[in-house]
Amino acid sequence: MKSDPVVAIAGVTGAVGAEFIATLDRRGFRVGKLRALASARSAGKSIDFRGVRIMIEELTEHAFDGVDIALFSAGGAISRRFVPIAVKAGAVVVDNSSAFRMDPEVPLVIPEINAGRIRDHKGIIANPNCAAITALVPLWPIHRVNRVRRVIISTYQAASGAGAAAMEELVESTRASLNGEAYRQKALPHPCAFNLFSHNTAIDPATGYNEEETKVIQETRKIFEDHRIAVGVTCVRVPVLRAHCAAITFECENPISEVEVRDILSGAPGIKIVDDRVKNYFPMPIDASGQDDVLVGRIRRDLSDPTGHSISMFVAADQLLKGAALNAIQIAELLPERAMA
């Protein structure tokens, strides 16, 4: 990997694309040249990167010539079509869609958990589901010390997970509701202002689980490399702009106390403890927004388990950052090191 790679961003005009640009700059990621790729309707417009105006190019089959690293966040259909083309052109792809996550040949990486898998890539590295990242970053340090054999997760997922159009819809529909005006939603299937609803992915009629929930289950097992772990998930869309939250109850193989959990998490990378019982101050999306760390709090013994094997906690993380762009760029930052290892 070059020290000054040519970096392409596919889906640069989307919510995650904008965070790719900002995060590359904020983290001082070395870029020899930036290629900004989007649909034909955005071609010819421009974006700013480190004081330079970059012309947006149409995403085509020839857009990856000379590209070293390609960051994709343009949806599964686009990834399935163009990622193999990018790899064939010589790029290493970090893909934010679900297109390749469960491919056994593709590493599914959260750097705080399994950075070593980056070296196994064959041109593609998958970025996990945002809800999975939010839950797994704090679960992993515990799992390493005392295996988590069962986990129940309830998510509170922001509009940003459905893209920039959904974020705009939340703002506009909230304004309309406050003004007593009618509003017809387009990006989301149900009203999002002053409302919440089951995650807007297709329901499996056999299991009753939606696609988002199935992703979290499957990705947990792949990332932890533990197919015995029992995972139950309920994913809900809430009227929050950009930070996901999750209520997590986990059961370990051996007894575990809340003190042990705090000690483990206080030294773990990518985590910030926010757990003030006196002030009733715990992780909130308003605090997680714009932050790199996953906020963890409400750490307490699960009173429904008299054996002392179970703990409950509440977490929050910026869906556009750790749930998407930041995680992908953390992967890209490790590519030179892994290439030379």
Q: Which of 143, 199, 244, 309 is catalytic?
A: 244
d(CA 161, CA 246): 14
pLDDT at 81 > cutoff 80: yes
Over residues 149-175, the mean pLDDT reads 97
Q: Per the structure block, which two tokens stand in for 123? A: 């041109």
- Report helix, strand and coil shares of the chain as percent, to nearest 5: 35, 25, 40
The rounded Cα 308 to chain-centroid distance in angstroms is 31
User: pLDDT tens across 172-230, in order?
Assistant: 999 999 999 999 999 999 999 999 999 999 999 999 999 999 999 999 999 999 999 99
- Rounded CA Rg of the chain: 20
Over residues 312-340, the mean pLDDT reads 88
The pLDDT of residue 336 is 64
Q: Which of 76-80, 182-186, 332-336 has the lowest mean pLDDT?
A: 332-336
Q: Which alpha helices (DSSP H) does 5-121 contain, by range?
A: 15-26, 76-88, 111-114
Over residues 158-181, the mean pLDDT reads 96
- The enclosing domain of 11 has a CATH number of 3.40.50.720
Over residues 65-86, the mean pLDDT reads 96
d(CA 294, CA 286): 13
Q: Identify whether 245 is a catalytic site residue.
A: no
Question: Which H or E run contains 299?
Answer: strand 294-301
Q: Are residues 138 and 111 in the same domain?
A: no
Over residues 323-332, the mean pLDDT reads 98
The pLDDT of residue 1 is 60
Q: Report the phi/psi class of residue 90: left, alpha or beta, with left for phi > 0 and alpha for psi in -120 to 50.
A: left
Q: Are residues 149 and 194 in the same domain?
A: yes
Over residues 47-70, the mean pLDDT reads 96
Q: Are residues 315 and 328 in the same domain?
A: no
Q: Are residues 270 and 146 in the same domain?
A: yes
User: pLDDT tens across 113-133, in order?
Assistant: 999 999 999 999 999 999 999
Query: Domain residues for 277?
Result: 132-319
Q: Is residue 84 part of a domain?
A: yes
pLDDT at 338 > cutoff 60: no
Q: Are residues 101 and 204 in the same domain?
A: no
DSSP symbols for 248-295: EEEEESS---HHHHHHHHHTSTTEEE--BTTTTB---HHHHTT-SSEE
Percent of the chain with pLDDT over 90: 97
Residue with tokens 């483990």: 264
User: pLDDT tens across 236-282, in order?
Assistant: 999 999 999 999 999 999 999 999 999 999 999 999 999 999 999 99
Over residues 85-91, the mean pLDDT reads 97
Q: Per the structure block, which two tokens stand in for 167? A: 């974020």
Q: Identify whether 130 is a catalytic site residue.
A: yes
d(CA 141, CA 273): 14
pLDDT at 337 > cutoff 90: no
Distances (CA, A) of 21 to 55, 61, 65, 300, 318: 13, 22, 20, 38, 16
- The enclosing domain of 289 has a CATH number of 3.30.360.10
Beta-carbon count within 10 A of 42 CB: 20
Q: Is residue 1 part of a domain?
A: no
The pLDDT of residue 3 is 78
pLDDT at 4 > cutoff 80: yes
User: pLDDT tens across 14-33, in order?
Assistant: 999 999 999 999 999 999 99
The pLDDT of residue 279 is 98
- Considering its fold, how many domains does the chain have in total? 2
Q: Check residue 322 and report its DSSP letter.
A: I
Q: Is residue 93 part of a domain?
A: yes
Residue with tokens 């809800």: 131
Q: Per the structure block, which two tokens stand in for 232? A: 């139950």
Q: Is residue 144 part of a domain?
A: yes
User: pLDDT tens across 302-321, in order?
Assistant: 999 999 999 999 999 999 99
